Amino acid sequence: MNLTPETVSAYKELITNPQNHGLELTSITDFFIKSDKVTAKHILARAYIDHIQKPLPKVILYIIMDEIYGQCSEKADDGNLGYRLTFNTESK
């Protein structure tokens, strides 16, 4: 796979607006909600990929997460960089 801006943009469109493309996925922006606690980026990514049950390269998801939520600058309890996000338990 070529990692190009066009590829990242296409994936971003699909996971932020899946309903516009006939996909029955939870949008990344609906799957995560703000939290007081920092969760490691790799844990968030794995949970989203497992939830949508579709092939999504982690590196592309990391790039998209940085575009949406900003660069990771805080550490989770496990010492890894992460975001102040958690999982929306009401996402389908």
Asked whether the predicted pLDDT for residue 91 surpasses 80, the reply is no
Residue 59's region, left for phi above 0, alpha for psi from -120 to 50, else beta, is alpha
Which amino acid is located at 15 in the chain? I
Q: Is the pTM for the entire model greater than 0.85?
A: yes
Whether 84 contacts 65, CB under 8 Å: no
* Dihedral over Cα of 91, 57, 4, 75: its sign: positive
Which among 45, 51, 55 is positioned nearest to 82, based on CA atoms? 45
Asked whether the predicted pLDDT for residue 53 surpasses 80, the reply is yes
Asked whether the predicted pLDDT for residue 84 surpasses 70, the reply is yes
